[in-house]
Amino acid sequence: MALPTIDETYFTTFLVDLLNIASPTGFAEPAIAFVEKELSKYKQLELSRTRKGALVARWEVKSDLPPVALTAHVDTLGAVVKEIKSNGRLKLSRIGGIQWPTVETEGVWIITSKGERIRGSVLIDTASGHIYSGAGGETPRNDAHMEVRIDARTTSEKETRELGINIGDCVAFDPRVEVTNGFIRSRFLDDKACVANLVAAIKSMAEAGRSPERSVYFHISNYEEVGHGAAAGIPSDVAELISVDMAVVGDGQESG
């Protein structure tokens, strides 16, 4: 019997909404909650959270076959505030393996401990050609030279702190989501596209009145980008764990 058809419109809408939720590792709760709310529509699923905050959806069926688990993650690359410089700008520590040249000039949101969102841009500290001449092209794109310039009138550490920004605040890079001619172009398709695939498959199966041949756990993890996403929280009765991740494609280049 053929599998039910995936609702591509639903898949795209869900994915775009998920991509637009800032969720760097350690700050992925809004994305987890979004997926949880969507999966709560299906009575076939039993939802729970792990101690680390990951979402587990269990679709139980009567079968002699042992359960399997599919895992995908909603957390993304990002950064935290490492230092507030004397000129009011921010030094960052990267979360995961983001490469500085790929986010130079990118817009960011600084998410404070109180949940406020403050806008800024990532630039090198010698960005102005009028001031530094050709030095900007020679400046290494690394932790020492990349900074966030805040969209606020601040020229000192004191003024920046008065905005509510502190060491350890989350910094989320713009995903730049575009949908054109059926193609979805965005940062962080790794691995939100795979989460959307799982959710869309669940929807199609449930609405068609179909069930898997064995019990299945859907494990939506929130710490993959720092190396321990599905390292915990997998139920003990699982016979096989399948990671649904698009981080590496055929030519060995990282995607998303």
**Quick one: pLDDT band at residue 251, thresholds 50, 70, 90?**
very low
CATH class of 78-173: mainly beta
More confident residue, 106 or 135: 106
pLDDT of residue 255: 40
Work out the average pLDDT over 131-147: 82
Choice among 83, 224, 240, 254 that is catalytic: 224
User: Is residue 147 flagged as an active site residue?
Assistant: no
- Give the model's pLDDT for residue 232: 85
Please state the domain extents for the chain. Answer: 8-75+188-243, 78-173
The pLDDT value recorded for residue 136 is 66
Comparing CA positions, the residue from 222, 231, 230, 168 lying closest to residue 24 is 222
pLDDT at 253: 42
The residue type of 232 is A
The model carries a pTM of: 0.92
Is it the case that residue 15 has pLDDT exceeding 90?
Answer: yes
The pLDDT mean for the chain works out to: 93
Residue 130's pLDDT is: 62
Q: Does residue 70 contact residue 218 with C-beta atoms inside 8 Å?
A: yes
Q: Kindly state which CATH superfamily the domain 8-75+188-243 is placed in.
A: Zn peptidases (3.40.630.10)
pLDDT at 38 over 50: yes
Smallest CA-to-CA distance from 55 within 78, 43, 72 is with: 72
